[in-house]
């Protein structure tokens, strides 16, 4: 598989966290649902997809789309939940 600019950017962010300015610049380009999910995670992370849907009042499908967009821009990371290993929880990458 070839290396793309996105792959290179994800390697860079794993080594160094994003500055607040860079984080906000990337977030600014995303849809409103992704901004809302990021705002909820800013105050209550880590949260599962279901918890994000409850807190943001967005449909599950919209939350899933927002998380995918945030992950594509390396603004959010996930890990398995310590309480329930079947679920993933999400947190901001800043």
pTM to 2 decimal places: 0.79
Q: How far apart are CA 1 and CA 5, in angstroms?
A: 13
* Per-residue pLDDT reduced to its tens digit, 62-94: 999 999 999 999 999 999 999 999 999 999 987
- In the prediction, which pLDDT does 14 show? 53
The share of the chain scoring above pLDDT 90, in percent, equals: 73
User: For all residues of the chain together, what is the average pLDDT?
Assistant: 86
- In the prediction, which pLDDT does 56 show? 96
- In the prediction, which pLDDT does 66 show? 97
**SS (HEC) of the chain:** CCCCHHHHHHHHHHHCCCCHHHHHHHHHCCCHHHHHHHHHHHHHCCEEHHHHHHHHCCCHHHHHHHHHHHHHCCCEEEEECCCCCCCEEEEECC
């Amino acid at each position: 598989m070839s290396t793309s600019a996105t792959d290179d950017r994800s390697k860079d962010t794993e080594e160094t966290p994003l500055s607040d300015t860079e984080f906000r610049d990337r977030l600014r380009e995303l849809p409103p649902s992704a901004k809302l999910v990021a705002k909820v995670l800013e105050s209550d992370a880590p949260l599962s997809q279901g918890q994000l849907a409850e807190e943001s009042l967005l449909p599950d499908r919209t939350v899933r789309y927002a998380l995918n967009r945030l992950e594509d821009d390396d603004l959010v990371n996930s890990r398995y939940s310590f309480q329930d290993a079947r679920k993933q929880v999400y947190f901001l990458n800043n």
